[in-house]
Amino acid sequence: MKVLVIGLGGVTNGGKTTLAEKLKNMLPNCDIISQDDFFKPESEVETDECGFKLYDVLDALYMDEMVTSIQNWMKSPASSGVVTEESENTCDNLKNVYILIVEGFLLYNYEPLNELWNRRYFLTLPYEECKRRRSTRVYQPADTPGYFDGHVWPMYLKYKNELEENASMQVDYLDGTKSQEELLSYVYSDIIQELNKLRE
């Protein structure tokens, strides 16, 4: 049995969840873990001096639990309820390969996760497009006025800069303004190449 762990990180509203779901439907033995499932309750999330809830930082998440969930999945992916029905294009030699897509906005800035990735993707968006998309979404709790400019975007830039400064980290940056089809086609082909390497 072989396991492939794919990171799908990047900017808020960059299309991570959509891309992860589409890949899951196309890849054999594929499962998703979403970072959004590991947010702490609102009462445990710190507030800054401007009154903004600090959701876009690692401290707002149960990161240890997330690492444990991924490691548990890697130990026994077949017991995670992963659907192993045969798609027509599944080769016999891929039957014992399991793929986990981990999607979230802060995947590569937490050291214990960094030894788990086979591939890392990072979706980017320009400021205006990101702000526009974010304004169409409803969050619990809701974004307060000024939250995007006061917290969300500065934290995105901070963590992205950290990533770019880490020369040892191999990350494939994806342009989130491209069509979903284009992004899907690129990442799917790339993962298939990784699968082929595993089989060699």
CATH code, 35: 3.40.50.300
Q: Which residue has the higher pLDDT, 126 or 138?
A: 126
pLDDT at position 199 is 76
pLDDT at position 78 is 74
In a domain, 85, yes or no: no
Among the residue ranges 70-79, 126-135, 146-155, 176-185, the one predicted with the least confidence is 70-79
If pLDDT is split at 50, 70 and 90, which confidence band does 93 have? Answer: low
DSSP conformational letter for 148: I
In a domain, 4, yes or no: no
Domain that holds residue 20: 9-78+94-198
In a domain, 89, yes or no: no
53-77 average pLDDT score: 94
Does the pLDDT at position 102 exceed 50? yes
In a domain, 152, yes or no: yes
pLDDT at position 88 is 44
Does the pLDDT at position 86 exceed 60? no
Q: What would the pLDDT profile of 37-62 be if each residue is shown by its tens digit? A: 999 999 999 999 988 999 999 999 99
Closest residue by Cα to residue 152 from 11, 9, 7: 11
In a domain, 191, yes or no: yes
Does the pLDDT at position 87 exceed 50? no
pLDDT at position 168 is 84
Q: Which one of the listed residues 31, 36, 92, 172 is annotated catalytic? A: 36
Number of domains making up the chain: 1
Per the annotation, the verdict on 36 as an active-site residue is yes
Whole-number average pLDDT of the chain: 90
Q: Which two tokens stand for residue 96?
A: 């014992």
Query: Rounded distance, CA 116 to CA 113, Å?
Result: 6
Burial class (CB in 10 A: 0-12, 13-18, 19+), 84: middle
In a domain, 188, yes or no: yes
If pLDDT is split at 50, 70 and 90, which confidence band does 80 have? Answer: low
In a domain, 28, yes or no: yes
pLDDT at position 92 is 53
In a domain, 57, yes or no: yes
Query: Rounded distance, CA 86 to CA 24, Å?
Result: 13
Of all residues in the chain, the percent with pLDDT exceeding 90 is 76
> Do strands 172-175 and 2-10 pair parallel, antiparallel, or not at all (unpaired)?
unpaired
